[in-house]
Structure 1
C-alpha cells in the first residue's frame, strides 16, 4: 500500500504541469484506479485541500495518503508528490542558466498555457457536475448571481485600473450580503 502511494504520487508529480488545480484530474485518476476513495470522499478531499493553506496538490496528496495509510501514508504521499518538482527545478535551473538567451524556451512555455488552462477548466467543470452544481435546477436560481459576479469582476479587471485585491474584497462583501 505504501509503495503504491509513493509510486502513484511520484508519477503525478512528474507528469503534472500547471500547479495544483491542473493536477487534480491526474490525482483523481490514480485514486479511482487504486479504489482508495469514493467519488464523494475525493471531492471532500479536494474541497478541504483547497481551503487549507499551502499547495492544493500537496494538500490533496497528504489527505489521500492519510485516508489510505495514516500518518506514514500522508508523509510518503507528500514527499512523493513534491520530490519531482524539487528535482525538476534543480535540473531546469542548471539548464536555464545555460540557455537563458534562447527563444525556444519562451515558445515552449507559451505552448503549455492552453494545456494547463484546459486541465484547470476540466477540473472545475468535472467537480461542478459531480456536485450537481451545473444543471437547470441550479442555473435557474441564485447561481446566475454568481455568474454575474464573475462577469462583473472580469469587466472591472479588463476595463478599469482597479486593483485585483479590491475586486476580490468587493466580491466577498457582495457574496455575504446576497447569500447570508
Structure 2
C-alpha cells in the first residue's frame, strides 16, 4: 500500500514538474502514465476522466490526479484508502507549483532592487557618455573648420552653446530648440 502511494506521489509529482498544461499534449502524457506504464486505469476509465475534465472547471491534471489516484487504489483497498490515494496524487501534482512559486518569490524578493542598483551605477557614467557623444560630433564636417570656413564654425558653435544654455538654464523644450536652430540654420546658410 505504501509503495502504491509513493508511486502515485512520484508519478504525479513528475507530471506537475514537466507536464505543462496544454489541451492537446497532456492527455497523451497522462494516458502514458496511468494506462501504459502502470496499468492503474483502463482506457474506458481514462476516457471518462477526459469527459469529466471537459465538463468540470478544473484542469485535466487535477481531474486525472484525483480520479487516477482514487481508481488506482480502489481496485485493491477500501474506500477510505482510495480517497487517500486521490489526495496523495493531487498533492504530488500540486507540490511542484508551490515549490516553483516559493523559489520564484525568494529570488524576486532577493533581487528586487537590482534595477535601482544598475541605474545608480550608470548614473555617474551618463555625463561621460554625453561628453563622448559631443566629442565624436565635434568634427570638421559638423562644425566646420576655423581656418577654412570661420562663418560656418562660428554659427555652429553659437547654435551649440545657445542650445545648451536654452535647455539647461532657461528650461526651453529641447525639441523646440532643435526646431529654432534648424530654422536659423536655414536662414543663415
TM-score, normalization by structure 1 = 0.50
Q: Which has the higher contact order (CA 8 A, sep 6+)?
A: 1
Higher helix share: 1
**Bigger Rg, structure 1 or 2:** 2
TM-score, normalization by structure 2 = 0.47
